Every structure is written in structure tokens, then in C-alpha cells.
Chains A and B, each alone.
Chain A
Amino acid sequence: MSEDILAGLAAIVNEVAGVPVEDVQSDKSFVDDLDVDSLSMVEVVMACEDKWGVKIPDSEVKNLKTVGDAVTYISANV
């Protein structure tokens, strides 16, 4: 389950920010490692909400520091 979400998230980050799919690993920080800025993060969140039907409120987005954080949140709320 979480592997499917990681793969889906990697595809989204690639689409939105041009980061190679293989670089999108659980331990990677969106900002520090993948250079996903706050605007691109909004796009990532939108795409995740559409793909998995989850709600990711702004108050939660700031806690999603790493790819793993996002996968965990989506898995728990999907």
C-alpha cells in the first residue's frame, strides 16, 4: 500500500517539479533534497488530493517535511 503511494507520489513530484522519479525516496526532504518550493508543494498537495481523495489541510502540509511524512499521512487518511 505505502509502496504504491510512494510510486504515485514520485510520479506527481516528477510531473510538478521535474524531479527524477528515482530520487523521490522516503527519507528525502521536499525542500532541502528535492528543491520543491512552497508553490510546487501546493501543486503536489492538489495532485495528491485528486489522486487519493484525501484532504490535506494547510495546517498539515507544514508537517510533511519528507516524502515519507507524506506517504504516512496519505496512507492513514485515504
Chain B
Amino acid sequence: MTRNVVVTGIGMTTPLGGDVASTWAQALAGQPGISQIPWPDWHPDQPAKIAGLMKVDPEEILTRVEVRRMDRSEQCALIAAREAWADAGSPEMDPVRLGAVVASGIGGVNSLISAYETIKEKGPLRVSPHMVTMIMPNGPAAMVGLEVGARAGVHTPVSACASGAEAISYAARMIQTGRADVVVTGGTEACINTVTMAGFGAMRALSTRNDDPNTASRPYDLDRDGFVMAEGAGILILEEEEFARARGARIYGRYGGAGLTSDGHHIAQPDPEGTGAARAMREAIEDAGLDLSSIVHVNAHATSTALGDYAESIALRAALGSHIDQAIVSATKSMTGHLLGGAGAVESIFSILALRDRIAPPTPNIFNFDPAIQLNVTANGPVALPAGDIAALNNSFGFGGHDVALVFTSV
């Protein structure tokens, strides 16, 4: 007996807004949320001095004690989880049938750096006893699991910028295989600090368009020069369909399927042929039991790097063949920046909202469309999606050669 997975709740906090409604409204309006980082001690040699900071600071939302005990990546995951859980109607259920799968690409780096500063200033005996649970990569999943009382299992897949998408696939598998009826899942990241920015800068991965933050993230533009670091979290409530219907839950859309592959090519560069990415997309569509023609919308990984955007574009064509010509492609990192481990979750929520509202969000900042990119991109504003049963593909790729594709379908 097949156990179908539906989406019954969503929550997020991003550079575009502190919740789903404000984020989605700003995304449809095509307004990026990137700014110069307002730090007085910002080293002048930092290559990138811009980022997508959360529009609503978690410290304004949470209690002082919550802030004290949680890394920023845990804080935003908790805020998004509370929104999603309430949005799903706070299901009353047996906690042994409730799971949590929340990913971070990097973990609590900000807290690690703070602890090192404390040691230098005051010695090792003044490091917070909460430091370990603030830096551990499973911290956000654990905090969210505690919040809802999940006892079916709390998990954290880690695959760099594919982590959030991989978490969702894991959560869906928990439901499909009967381990859980409801899973709180998604991704989070909050690692905008001098060390991480210097590291990604050293890889030449970041845009250095410091004087014009809101046009810095420009996927598919001929002059794209790297991604823009961002922070935030996206959380979804996945639920077994019969369980959701029995309690009268509102259903946003269906989880269709996932494809997870690896490039086997390079630790940080995408396979220029995009073969691993293409396989992931095909597997996701097959897993969803759909024809290639069902995919009418793609939320692309498209981070605004020269190699990555192009490789994904040819992978999309390899996976979908001529059907890619009928799909509307959005690259929402043009507005949010790149939330790393949070990206796959935030963009899954965008995909679900696009299917619900029948609209593909715009992709601003394309001033000179790269002629090598053979895709129908929403460069001139949002584009309407067709009526009827439709599906969206959401791609996420991570350093290490991780390729994760998710498919969602309309209800």
C-alpha cells in the first residue's frame, strides 16, 4: 500500500521577510534582499562585503534565554518550524509517529568563533556549556524535534548546499516507509561571519559586486561573478495523505519524489557536463511517477556562478529533452542570495507556492542574458503557470558533488 506524502504546513524566515507571506510577496515583486554587511570590524581585504541578512532578526522574536542557548542557525530554524507547525494546525498526534529532519550545510560556525574569542579574552573556563549543542550540525534538527516533541527520529543529512533538499527527501522516505506519519523538515543556515566569508572568498565563489548589493546575485546574466551568501531557514510539514485528510488538514501540494546522485568529479566544481545533476532530475521525475511533460516549472539551483549556472542548464536539457522548452525556470537566489543548507528548503516552499498560485516567481538582475543558457527564464517578471495537474522540479547541488532534485505536484 502506497503511502503518499503531502505538504500541510510551511514556514520560513529569509532575507526577503520574517515569514512565508512576506517572503513570497517580496519574491513575486522581484525585490532582492541583499545589503552591505553593517559590521564595523569588517576587514577591508574581505572580497565580499555583502550578504542576504535575515529581514527580521531572530533575536527580536525569541526570548533572551532561547537566544543564549541556540546558535543563530538553530534560532531561525525554530522560528520557521513554529510558523510551519502552526500553519499545519499543530497536529495533535502520537509523538512516536512524529519525526524531525532538519539540515544545515555548515553548522553553528558563528558560535564556534564566539567561543574561540571567549577563550582568547577570558580563558577556557568561560566557554558556554551550551557551545557544543550550538555548533553540532544536528543542533537545528534536535531543537526543532524538541519543540514539537518528535520521537519517531531526528535526523540531519549533510551535503553542503544540497542539505535542505536532502533533508526533505529523507523526511518523505520516513513517511513512505511507515516510520512516521508527520515529519517536520527543511534546512537552515546562518554563517555570515568573517571566517566563512573569507573562506568562500578564497574559493572565488562569492560575488564582489559590493557597491551594488541588490544586483550582485544575477543568475544567467553574462556578467555573473559568484553567489551572495545569505542566511535563514525554511521548514515544511510533510504528512501521510490519509493521516492529513483524516484530521482535515489543509493540503498545499504533494511531494512527488526525489533523485539523489553524486558527480564523482571534483570536490567543489560542478561536473561541466552536468551528468550527475541530470540523473538526479530524471530519477526524481521517475520516483514521482510522472512524465517529463508534467514538469512545467523549475526552481533552479542557479547560484550566479559562471560554471554552475551553465552546467545546470545543460543538465536540465539532458534530463527533460525538448520538454524543457515548455518549462518556466525561476532562479530565486537572485533575490534571496544563497542560503546554503537552507536553500533547498526555501526553494521547495517557493516551488509549492508557485504550483498553488500558478505563478513562477521572477528572476531579476538579468541585464545581459547569457546566450549559452538555453532555458525559459522568468527574466522579465513572474510568469503564469497552466491550470490542471502540474509539477515543479527543484534542484539543489552541493560542494562535494552532491546532486539532489525534488519534484512537487499540485493539488
Contact = CB atoms under 8 A, between A and B. Distances in A.
B125 A18 contact: no
B63 interface: yes
Contact of B130 (A18, A39, A50): A39
B126 interface: yes
Interface string B107-130: 000000000000000000110111
A69 interface: no
A42 B129 contact: yes
B129 A18 contact: no
Contacts of B63: 18
B128 A43 contact: yes
Given A18-B64, A39-B130, 15 more contacts: A15-B64, A16-B65, A16-B68, A17-B65, A18-B63, A18-B65, A39-B129, A40-B129, A42-B129, A43-B128, A43-B129, A43-B130, A46-B125, A46-B126, A50-B126
A40 B129 CA distance: 7
Contacts of A50: 126
Contacts of B130: 39, 43
Q: B64, B126, B128, B129: which has the most chain A beta carbons within 10 Å? A: B129
> At the interface, is chain B mostly helix, strand, loop or mixed?
helix
Interface in B57-76: 63-65, 68
Contacts of A16: 65, 68
Interface in A1-52: 15-18, 39-40, 42-43, 46, 50
A48 B231 CA distance: 35
Nearest to B128: A43
Contacts of B126: 46, 50
Interface string B124-150: 011011100000000000000000000
A39 to B, nearest CB: 4
Contacts of A46: 125-126
A50 B123 CA distance: 12
10 contacts: A15-B64, A17-B65, A18-B64, A39-B129, A40-B129, A42-B129, A43-B128, A43-B129, A46-B126, A50-B126
A13 B125 CA distance: 19
A71 B296 CA distance: 68
Nearest to A18: B65
A67 B65 CA distance: 20
Contacts of B65: 16-18
A16 B65 CA distance: 6
